[in-house]
Each structure stands twice: as structure tokens, then as C-alpha cells.
Amino acid sequence: AVLTAGGCVPVNPVGGGGSLSPVESPSSFDIPLPIPPLAPSTVVDGVRVFSLEAQEGTSEIVPGVSTPTWGFNGDVLGPTLRATRGERVAVEVTNSIDEPTTVHWHGMHLPPDMDGGPHQMVEPGDTWRPTWQIDQPAATLWYHPHPHGRTEEHVYRGLAGMFLLDDDRASGLPDDYGVDDVPVIVQDKRLDDDGRLVLDSDGNEVGLLGSTIVTNGVAGAVHEVTTELVRLRLLNGSTARVYDFAFEDDRPFTHVGTDGGLLPTPYETDHVRLSPGERAEIVVSLAPGSETMLVSRAPDLGGVVAPFAVGANDEFPVLRLSAAPELAAAAPVPVAFEPLADDTVDADDAAVTRRFAIQDRSINGRTMDMDRIDETVRVGDTEIWEVTNLDLFPHNWHVHDVQFQVLDVEGDPPGPELGGRKDTVYLEPRRTYRLAMRFEDFADPDTPYMAHCHLLLHEDQGLMAQFVVTDDGRAGRVATTHHDH
């Protein structure tokens, strides 16, 4: 078997089952970090048009080993799409793999029928043409498939890429793509003796914890640093693993951006925890001729989590940074960014509070039903969503369409790492997160957006809810395009 599906995992909230699979680190980090190419685009009648084709290929995740993978416009991962606030974009999404898939624009504010969730299926051989206007601040977003029940496998095989948004707020941050402004997609894989991808969560409650860590599709990479400061756009593109990124020498760095944009006030730290789907933009400085290793340490997952959720390693290397003998000068990281109205959500305006209690694979006792609308929102409303992880193992929470503000965690103000725009938040066991979000536009009573756990095994097993944004609070009937169930 090329790929073993995770299947249904028995729930064992305290013991976890599953082996503690250790990460096996390459003996050297000498492969130049592949930089996903910027996707070409053409502007037709004022619309910036990109093309993405999901296809099968072969890549070298581990040097010298050929692995069948899937990619967009290539063998693995996909090009970086890039657009500016205010622009109208369109993407021609062609499916050249032999099963239905979708492409979801994770973090994007856009109409629900353009969202690329499980209701916008693209059949093999078909092309889907979503179009929308970019109406949100500069941010590091990403795209990936979202076919219901199949997302874990499609992402794991390699279908994922970044979608960078720019705006005219001068950030003063390093911005030379691939040079001092570097996308880093971090994933974990497991290869069998023939170099094929294995997707086997081994009875592990959270999903697959792969033994090979890859950055932009390869294990053992190095990025050659040529400037005094380098900005890393970190994306946790793993299906289950939670990382706590740091540098091996504990050097401080500046955390400048969260999922949905720049932090109003960057802050200095020495680690940042990212659960699947989350992003962090960080800026780190290297001395001329020096090097350091980006590592991940066993994250503090909230105190009561059995070790199965982490794996056996205390620390493992992720990406080596190696500085040239002479480095180009860089401006210091700004102490604050010019505030935008979008930076915060005014929770005093909240019209509605909804509660989402997550347990095992259910939300409020229900698992995902493609034909059921779980929540009906009124357009223009600000809402507070109270999300509780009732389990003793990790989940996280991702909401389509909006960026939210974390108001508090179990009643306490969130740490600075949660101080900016977020679309995905890690849920520590047995804690309640209060999130504020505003549903500005795009009323459509028939086409739901998703809210779900981004541990992709959980998502596939039904830890997902559907909500619609409406003019009058009345949901319609679920509309699905190219839907084959």
C-alpha cells in the first residue's frame, strides 16, 4: 500500500496508545532551501489571474530518495501567489489528479462560493475559476485542498502553497522575497523503505507525527543569509504536529506577524508555538560569518497532555541559517506599525455569543454533516465565539472568512503571541478561548463557510461545523457545486 489511511482511532484520553515516534534528523543541513517560485499572473480587464494545476509528481524529500508526491504546477507544494490589497484576483484551478479535490484560501476574507471548502469540489479534469477582491491587510496566508474526509491525505501528499498579501502600510521589514523575506513551510513526513509516503497515525490520537521534518519540501535544508536581518514566514503545514520554534542557541528574535497580519506591536521572544495551519512572521539577526539552527522543542501543550501528542524528541533541528562573511545592512525592526482599523475587533459591539464545546471528534455533540447548517450569522454582526477543548489532548480552531481577536484564554488575557489577527488558534486542553470576530459582508444563506479543528485527521473525522452569513438570520438549503456524494 502506498498510503495507509488513518482510519478511525479509538479514543483513549489519558494513555493515548500509539508509539512515540522520534524525529530522525539528517546528518547534515546542506540542501539549499528551495524557495517556492512566485506564481506568474496576467492582468486581464483589471483582474490579476493566476493558474494552479494539482498534479502528481515525484520529488526528493530526502536527498537521493525518489518519493511520489503531489504538487501545484510542479512535483510538490505550489508556487507562492501574491497580490495587493484592493486588487481583484482570479485563480484558474485545474484538477489533474485522479480524484476530486478543492483549493481553499486559508485566512482569506472572501465570498463563501469562492472559499474552496468542501462544497466547491473540482472533479478530475475540471477547472474552477474563483474570483474575489483582496480586502484585508498584508499577511502570510496559504492555500490547500479541503475535500471532506480527504484533506489530511491531500495536504500530506504535498498540495499546499503560500498566498502573500501586500498593502501600502510601510512595514519597514525585510521584503526581498526568497533573500531576506523567506517562506518556510514546515511539515513532517514518514517514508517507507521504498521512499513512499506513509500516512499512518499509529493509533496516535492527534494524527501522524512524521519522523522526517521538511522545510519547503526537503529535509536537511540551509538558507544562506546575506543581510543583517532575515524575516522568516513560518507556516505549520503539518497535519498534526505542534511545533515550538526557537533557535538552538536561544537567541532572541522579533515576532512581527500572526496569521492575518502584522502584530500592532512586535515583541521580542525566544520561541513561538505554532499548531497546524498557524503562521508566524519573525525577524532574526545573524552576525557575519555565523550560523544558527532553527529548532523545534517539545511544546508546552497546556500541561495535561500525554506525550503521544508530541513525539519522543525534546528538540530537533528544522532549518540551518548560515550567514555570509559580509552582510548587507538592514533597518531596525519598527517598534510599532501604523495602526489599521482592521487590527482589532471591538468586542463591545458583540451582538451574539456562541459556544463551541469540542470533545473527541464532535462540536456541541455533533459531527460534520455536509447537508446541515450549524450556525447562522447575520451580516454586519460582531460575534463572540467561546471555544472549549474538553479533551485531554490537543485540538485547534480555525474559522473561515474572518480573522478573529483572542479576547481571553480561560479568563486571562492572551499572551503577546495571540495579540494580532488570527484565523487559527491552538486550544490547550480543558481551556476556553473567547474569540471576537466581525462578519462584514458576503451574505449567502445557501453556501456555508467552515469552522473546524485544523488537526487534519480530526477535521476529516468530522470535527467541523458549517455556518452561513445571512441578511435576515434565515439559513437556506446547502448549495454544493461539483458535489459527488
Give the residues lining the site for ligand C2O (CB under 6 A). 104, 106, 144, 146, 277, 398, 400, 450, 452, 454
Cell triple for 244: 515550538
| 308 three-class SS | helix
| 458 interface partner picked from ligand C2O, Cu ion, none, CB below 5 to 8 A per type | Cu ion
| Residue 407 in the binding site for Cu ion (CB under 5 A) | no
Q: Is 349 helix (H, G, I), strand (E, B) or coil?
A: helix
Stretch that binds Cu ion, among 259-267, 333-341, 429-437, 453-461 (CB under 5 A): 453-461
Q: Residue 361: name the closest of 336, 390, 332 by CA.
A: 390
C-alpha cell at 366: 455533533
Distance of CA 30 to the CA centre of its chain: 26
Q: Where are the beta strands (DSSP E) in 343-445?
A: 352-359, 362-363, 375-378, 382-389, 395-399, 405-409, 424-427, 432-438
Nearer to ligand C2O, 104 or 241 (CB): 104
The nearest distance, CB 466 to ligand C2O, in angstroms, is 11
Q: How far is the CB of 340 from ligand C2O (least distance, A)?
A: 24
> Binding partner of residue 146 among Cu ion, ligand C2O, none, CB under 5 to 8 Å per kind?
ligand C2O
- 11 versus 336: smaller Cβ distance to Cu ion: 11
Residue with cell 500592532: 264
CA dihedral 200, 203, 208, 210 (to 10 degrees): -80
452 binds, among ligand C2O, Cu ion, none (CB under 5 to 8 A by kind): ligand C2O
Among 110, 333, 392, 453, binds Cu ion (CB under 5 A): 453
What's the rounded Cα separation, in Å, for the pair 177 and 174? 9
Rounded to a whole number of angstroms, the minimum distance from the CB of residue 423 to ligand C2O is 8
Q: Between 119 and 144, name the residue whose CB sits nearer to ligand C2O.
A: 144
Burial letters 325-345, b for 16+ CB under 10 A, else e: eebeebeebbeebeebebbeb
Strand residue runs (E) in 28-108? 31-32, 42-44, 47-59, 67-72, 81-84, 88-95, 104-106
Query: In the range 376-395, which residues lie near Cu ion by CB under 5 A?
Result: 395
Shortest CB 356 distance to Cu ion, Å: 12
Q: What is the number of the residue whose Cβ is closest to ligand C2O?
A: 106
**Among ligand C2O, Cu ion, none, what binds residue 398 when CB lies within 5 to 8 Å by partner kind?**
ligand C2O
The answer to whether the CB of 383 falls within 8 A of the CB of 437 is yes
Among Cu ion, ligand C2O, none, residue 455 binds (CB under 5-8 Å by kind): Cu ion
| Site membership for Cu ion, residue 434 (CB under 5 A) | no
Per CB under 5 A, residues contacting Cu ion are 395, 453, 455, 458
